[in-house]
């Protein structure tokens, strides 16, 4: 083959060029590369001298005038080009800023126009609201008149229903008291005075201060009738008494009453003294079981006090709770009944005044006569635990019962026990006439109190009158005894 440069012939399996030609080509390429590098270096120096001409001449020799002029002109051109570029950039930025300013001004103007329109709209709406409010104020009476008329009609219907309810309660309680045989009897005393006795079912209702000398059977019958009357009338009046009364029912032969603290606890208790297990003991309720007070006597009260003092105290507490219930019911239904023990003890007087006199009277108060409590402006049956409407005013049932809550049953019970104890203590004194004294050789004074009391109560040939005045009474005498003869004596008042 021939060489491409020198046309030399060499074998076909050799290289396309000869070695000398290749070497010369390599040298030529190196020279060209070196010349390019030198040109680049010179241009770099020139550019550097143009950019910073003074620094270029500090270390080198002083250039010629042509070089200085050339470098100075090049530097001026360079600075002018740089300033021109900066001015163009600044002008461009100013143009952008002006455009933004113009845009913001337009937005501000639009916002002012919108605010003005919105302010005008608000003023118009305020004017419309004021006009509508004025029109509504003028139309309020016309709009509310149908509602007021409906309220008045509802109030009249409610008043009619309330009046019919009170009338129905009154008639039911009157008829119940009449059927129970609640009545008042008058009897003339030897001195000419009139004494009122009260009975229910033909059985006299004794004052709590007079039960020591009464027969147990009469006391039991009277108390049973009173409990039955109270339970029935309280059911008609929808009133819950302070002390819960349990009437006789299956396996429960006699009425009982609970204390004020243990009433209405929801217990199903057996009859006191029975051996049956209460249903509440089979539950998980761990509350202590209340103990009802039995309103039944199986012996004279004086004998019970001697033989079983604990049961005697429970019985006295039971009848005191019953009298307290009667007085509370009278107060709640409009009778101005005091919480003093003198007003609570006569259950017969309170029951008769409530069911036979107060139910037949109107709201006008009546005067106190023959020991009867005075009435108030409250109607019978107005106070009820099942009623959602009470008559406003200082004489309604709520205020009456609020004031009566200040009464203390404990003080009342202590006073009754004190009076009965003084009565039994007075049974030690017996009065003997002249004939009896001549027949007896000796009179035994002293001995057992219970025996002397039983002798005094069971004796049919002798009558004793013991009067115990209230320790808080007006007169200064308290606890004194009056003994009268059998012929001229009278029952205790």
Look up tokens 């025996």; give the residue.
Answer: 451
The domain limits of the chain are: 1-45, 181-266+289-424
The whole-model pTM stands at: 0.60
Q: Which of 325, 251, 254 is nearest to 268 (CA)?
A: 251
Backbone angles phi, psi at 72, to 5 degrees: -65, -45
DSSP state of 225: H
- Per-residue pLDDT of 371-380, as tens digits, reads 444 444 577 8
Supply 86's token pair.
């900066």
Between 54 and 493, name the one with better pLDDT: 54
> What is the C-alpha separation between 262 and 265, in angstroms, rounded?
6
Per-residue confidence at 432, pLDDT binned at 50, 70, 90?
very low
Around Cβ 155, how many Cβ atoms within 10 Å? 10
At 485, is the secondary structure helix, strand, or coil? coil
**Residue 252, helix vs strand vs coil:** strand
Distance CA 252, CA 246 (A): 9
Q: CB under 8 Å to 449, separation ≥6 — which residues?
A: 306, 424, 425, 427, 428
The rounded distance, in Å, linking the Cα atoms of 396 and 56 is 120
**pLDDT band at 49, cuts 50/70/90?**
low
- Render pLDDT for 466-482 as a digit per residue (tens, 0 to 9): 333 333 333 333 333 34
Whether 236 and 180 have beta carbons less than 8 Å apart is answered as no
Kindly calculate the radius of gyration of the chain based on its CA atoms and give it in whole angstroms: 61
Q: What pLDDT, in 10s, does the model give residues 337-367?
A: 777 888 899 999 999 999 988 776 554 333 3
Length of the chain: 493
Q: Which residue from 459, 469, 471 is spatially nearest to 427, judged by alpha carbons?
A: 459
Count of Cβ atoms closer than 10 Å to residue 443 Cβ: 9
Provide CB contacts within 8 A for 461, sequence distance 6+: 436, 486
Inter-residue contact 243 to 257 (CB < 8 Å): yes
Residues 4, 10 contacting (CB under 8 angstroms): no
The token duo for 217 is: 């059977």
């Amino acid at each position: 083959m021939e060489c491409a440069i020198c046309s030399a012939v060499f074998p076909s399996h050799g290289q396309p060029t000869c070695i000398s030609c290749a070497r010369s080509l390599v040298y030529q390429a190196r020279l060209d590369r070196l010349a390019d590098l030198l040109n680049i270096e010179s241009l770099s120096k020139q550019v550097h001298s143009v950019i910073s001409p003074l620094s270029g001449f500090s270390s080198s020799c002083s250039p010629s005038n042509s070089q200085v002029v050339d470098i100075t002109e090049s530097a001026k051109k360079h600075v002018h080009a740089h300033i021109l570029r900066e001015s163009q950039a600044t002008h461009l930025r100013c143009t952008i800023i002006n455009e933004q300013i113009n845009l913001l001004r337009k937005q501000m103007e639009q916002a002012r126009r919108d605010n003005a329109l919105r302010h005008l709209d608000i003023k118009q709406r305020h004017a419309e609201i004021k006009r509508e409010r004025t029109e509504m104020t003028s139309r309020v009476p016309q709009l509310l008149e149908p509602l007021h008329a409906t309220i008045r009609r509802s109030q009249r219907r409610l008043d009619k229903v309330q009046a019919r309810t009170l009338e129905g309660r009154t008639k039911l309680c009157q008829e119940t008291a009449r059927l129970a045989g609640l009545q008042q009897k008058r009897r003339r005393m030897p001195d000419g005075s009139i004494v009122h006795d009260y009975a229910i079912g033909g059985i006299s209702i004794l004052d709590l201060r007079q039960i020591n000398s009464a027969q147990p059977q009469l006391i039991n019958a009277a108390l049973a009738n009173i409990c039955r009357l109270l339970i029935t009338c309280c059911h008609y009046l929808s009133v819950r008494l302070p002390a819960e009364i349990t009437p006789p029912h299956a396996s429960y032969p006699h009425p009982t009453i609970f204390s004020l603290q243990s009433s209405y606890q929801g217990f199903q208790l057996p009859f006191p003294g029975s051996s049956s297990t209460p249903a509440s003991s089979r539950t998980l309720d761990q509350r202590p079981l209340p103990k009802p007070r039995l309103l039944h006597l199986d012996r004279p009260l004086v004998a019970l006090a001697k033989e079983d003092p604990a049961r005697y105290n429970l019985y006295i507490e039971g009848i005191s709770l019953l009298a307290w219930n009667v007085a509370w019911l009278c107060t709640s239904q409009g009778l101005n009944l005091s919480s003093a023990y003198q007003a609570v003890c006569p259950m017969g007087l309170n029951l008769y005044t409530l069911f036979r006199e107060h139910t037949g009277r109107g709201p006008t108060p009546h005067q106190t006569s023959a020991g009867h409590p005075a009435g108030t402006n409250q109607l019978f049956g107005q106070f009820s635990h099942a009623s959602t409407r009470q008559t406003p005013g200082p004489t309604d049932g709520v205020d009456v019962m609020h004031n009566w809550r200040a009464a203390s049953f404990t003080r009342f019970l202590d006073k009754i026990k004190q009076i009965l104890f003084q009565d039994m203590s007075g049974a030690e004194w017996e009065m003997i006439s002249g004939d009896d004294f001549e027949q007896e050789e000796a009179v035994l004074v002293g001995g057992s109190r219970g025996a002397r009391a039983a002798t005094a109560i069971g004796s049919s040939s002798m009558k004793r009158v013991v009067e115990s005045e209230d320790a808080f009474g007006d007169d200064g005498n308290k606890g004194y005894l009056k003994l009268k003869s059998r012929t001229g004596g009278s029952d205790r008042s």
